A = this chain, B = another copy of it.
Amino acid sequence: MAKNDVEKIWSLNYRLMMSVITGVAPDVAGLGMEVKELFLLTEVEAHPHPAELASVLSMPKPTVTMYVKRLEASGFLRREIDGADLRRHRLILTPEGRKTMARGLALLSKAFGARLGRLNSAEQSELAVLLEKLS
């Protein structure tokens, strides 16, 4: 594949993502959280420890600390010290956090889904497969 195509794919994809994020930001803010905080919430169940979250989301550790602090203050998650390793904090979604996350994801799905809707069902599946290979 020519270098130009790599750049083109990158540019298209980057602009798509930024545009969707910018579009949903005001609605998500209405739920009492920022978009990046929402992204963090969605990964909490799969990665309950801040260090993992930082790694998975390519976010600096102090940023995770701050987001977690805010999400905890808002009642969206709580922290427990991990008994097996007193350095680690296990993050747990509260029912309120789960509910608000679902609402936020619905907004995101709607915004991103509006773009995805330009693809037919087979194309969407194909895209999912391709992105999975890339991850």
Copies in the complex: 2
In the complex the two chains form, is B134's CB within 8 Å of A12's CB?
yes
Cross-chain contact of A57 among B5, B8, B18 (Cβ < 8 A) = B18
Task: Report the minimum CB–CB distance from A68 to chain B (whole Å).
Answer: 18
- For A22, the closest partner residue in chain B by CB is B58
Stretch at the interface among A75-83, A89-97, A118-126: A118-126
Which A residues lie at the B interface, using CB under 8 A?
1, 3, 5-22, 39, 42-43, 56-59, 105-106, 108-109, 112-113, 115-116, 118-119, 121, 123-128, 130-135
Contacts of A1 in B (CB 8 A): 113, 116, 121, 124-125
Which residues from B are CB-within-8-Å of A14? 17, 39
